Structure 1
Amino acid sequence: MGTQARDIAAREAKLEALQNKLTASVGALVSGDDWKRALSFAAQFRARSFNNTMLIAVQHYAAFQEGRVPAPMPTYVAGFRQWQSLSRAVMKGQSGYAILAPVTARFASANPSDPDSWRRLARGETPHSGDIVRSKLVGLKPAHVWDVSQTDGKPIPETPRPTLLQGQAPDGLWDGLADQITAQGFELRLVSNATSIGGANGLTDYATREVSVRMDMDDAAQAKTLAHELGHVLLHDPTQPEASADAAMHRGIAEVEAESVALMVGAAHGLATDDYTIPYVASWASSVPGKTPAEVVQSTAERVRSTAVRILDQLDTPQISDGNPPGLDRSGPAHERGATATRAATPQQIETVGR
């Protein structure tokens, strides 16, 4: 076996071991409380895929048990060169946390509407004049990140964390969520109590394009309910092509997704997550024909994470860190940022040559 073949075999073995570790960690999510803890952690590291947050969590906790890091929870994680860009260096003897990083390739076509016309460009190959060039995720590979406690050097500037009293909602959260609901073409109705909406805290009606929220709750509960209904609007509107197919088949998954979106939005604002209601994982993760519970958990969690990030990115509110060190250039190497999905993404046009 040649050197290149051995390298490929070694990488495939590492990737398989990493996927096995991920499957085991996802399989350990048994109860609703386990799910809530996983999503609360993901909210603190929401810049990365759910799969990678799970891998970081389990490996960091193992490092804590071995005495290699001082706390059971990581603070900021970044790649080797990313830490160097912040004038910090990985300390001798500190092993990085393996994550799934994207492998991308460039494809070119002079007739992009013809699926058979696309050809993969070799490394350094120049497209033909007039070609459209797209970048596509074609696979995954192992990469490594380190927690700030595994590095030393220039201090990291600490960003202020939101602090809230019991029952208080962050300034601007309600208005920001309401704006996103109306931007989707839904009217927001404020009702005096739960009686008019069937005893619920909130209700999304896709037929009338209305979202109703009861107002006889404290501010935090109202904001949580509004985030829950916004989760329904973004994920489950049957008129939209991106509506969750799993949720359409099983209403329990739709409720898990909406409540989980609200949990991540709340956690990103420092709100307590104790009163979020998530049913026993096995009751909904085993409900989709043709998929294993682990596959349902992974796909549900990633839909939740990406939707919560979409909501949070449009809010002008104080939020906790997303897991990246303050001051980090987020346009750094893709393999250090880590994969944001575990399957091939739809290619996006990145340049037009010769036009």
Structure 2
Amino acid sequence: MSQTTGDPVPELSRPRLLEGEAPSGLWEGLSALIQQRGFTVGRVADARAIGGANGLTDFTNRTVAVRADMDELQQVKTLSHELAHIDLGHEDRMDAAGWHRGIGEVEAESVALMIGAAHGIDTTTYTIPYVSGWAGTVKDKTPAEVVQATGERVRKTAGAILDGLPTVQTGIGDPPGLTRDAPVTRRTRERPPAVAAESFDAVRREPAREHVVRSL
């Protein structure tokens, strides 16, 4: 977009991939939960293998794929997002009347933010632009209204996932900057046994669109 007078039109910020190492045992713990739901977890070489996305949940073939060419921290954030798609019931909800992908993406990324926060990970440089962008696609609602409407479902889903993770957790998933009057109980658990992540090409087969969610 160009204009001849006035200030330049500001560009919307874009999600920035997280950099760094993942907390000990988090990939393994998330993978184990996904496998318990009947899905295979694997890494693919790059975004081209999954349609340009960072991660993909294929409800038809029961696979979850994450790009291997990202730092560990981004990989576990993306894996959290894909687990959230499963636990939020998006497989069934995406076939229901009134489904909007923007709402589903806001929910899944908000759960990923809470899982990261509980492990000392600040995902806001990725999550805030991602959530803002998808929330802005929902007709007749402001982004703030979309986030507020999804809040309770997000909290319940994130809490259940955190309860199922045998990882060392530093809080209950409150986003950075949020303070509470009541004290927060630290979650401390032993590291789970390692779960091998498979290398597979199943996600290259394009199943029916309504049963695949890609996390860009």
Could you say whether these structures have the same fold, taking a TM-score greater than 0.5 normalized by the shorter chain as the test? yes
Distance change >3 Å, CA 296–CA 272, structure 1 → 2: closer
1:168 Cα deviation from its structure 2 partner: 1.5
Indicate conservation of the 8 Å contact 1:188/1:212, yes or no.
Answer: yes
What 5-or-longer segments of structure 1 have no aligned partner? 1-31, 34-165, 328-355
- 2:126 is equivalent to residue 275 of structure 1: yes
Q: What do residues 101-126 of structure 1 show as CA deviations (whole Å, max 9, x unaligned)?
A: xxxxxxxxxxxxxxxxxxxxxxxxxx
> Percent identity over the alignment?
51
Q: What do residues 214-233 of structure 1 show as CA deviations (whole Å, max 9, x unaligned)?
A: 11111101100100100111
Indicate conservation of the 8 Å contact 2:102/2:138, yes or no.
Answer: no
Per the alignment, residue 80 of structure 2 pairs with 227
Q: What do residues 14-36 of structure 1 show as CA deviations (whole Å, max 9, x unaligned)?
A: xxxxxxxxxxxxxxxxxx99xxx
Equivalent residue in structure 1 for 2:37, among 174, 184, 194? 184
Per the alignment, residue 249 of structure 1 pairs with 99
- Amino acid aligned to 1:249: W
- Amino acid aligned to 1:231: A
Aligned partner of residue 43 in structure 2, secondary structure: strand
Residue pairs, 1:307-322, within 5 angstroms: 307-322=157-172
Indicate conservation of the 8 Å contact 1:236/1:247, yes or no.
Answer: no
1:309 Cα deviation from its structure 2 partner: 0.7
Determine the C-alpha separation between the residues in 2 that align with 1:247 and 1:300.
17
1:247 Cα deviation from its structure 2 partner: 9.5
Indicate conservation of the 8 Å contact 2:54/2:67, yes or no.
Answer: yes
1:235 Cα deviation from its structure 2 partner: 1.3
Distance change >3 Å, CA 202–CA 248, structure 1 → 2: farther
Determine the C-alpha separation between the residues in 1 that align with 2:164 and 2:25.
12
Determine the C-alpha separation between the residues in 2 that align with 1:247 and 1:188.
30
The structure where strand makes up a greater share of residues is 1
Superposed CA RMSD in Å reads: 3.1
Indicate conservation of the 8 Å contact 2:106/2:147, yes or no.
Answer: no
Q: What do residues 260-312 of structure 1 show as CA deviations (whole Å, max 9, x unaligned)?
A: 11111111111122222222476245457xxx977643331111111111111
- 2:151 is equivalent to residue 301 of structure 1: yes
What 5-or-longer segments of structure 2 have no aligned partner? 1-11, 14-18, 173-179, 186-216
Indicate conservation of the 8 Å contact 1:261/1:307, yes or no.
Answer: yes
Q: How many residues align?
A: 160
TM-score (norm 2): 0.63
Determine the C-alpha separation between the residues in 1 that align with 2:53 and 2:96.
23
Residue pairs, 1:141-152, within 5 angstroms: none
Determine the C-alpha separation between the residues in 2 that align with 1:179 and 1:196.
23
Structure showing greater Rg: 1
Determine the C-alpha separation between the residues in 1 that align with 2:118 and 2:41.
24
Determine the C-alpha separation between the residues in 1 that align with 2:40 and 2:162.
21
Determine the C-alpha separation between the residues in 1 that align with 2:169 and 2:96.
30
Determine the C-alpha separation between the residues in 2 that align with 1:246 and 1:230.
20
TM-score (norm 1): 0.40
Determine the C-alpha separation between the residues in 1 that align with 2:97 and 2:47.
25
Aligned partner of residue 116 in structure 2, secondary structure: helix
Q: What do residues 210-261 of structure 1 show as CA deviations (whole Å, max 9, x unaligned)?
A: 111111111101100100100111114434xxx4788962111111111111
Indicate conservation of the 8 Å contact 2:29/2:166, yes or no.
Answer: yes
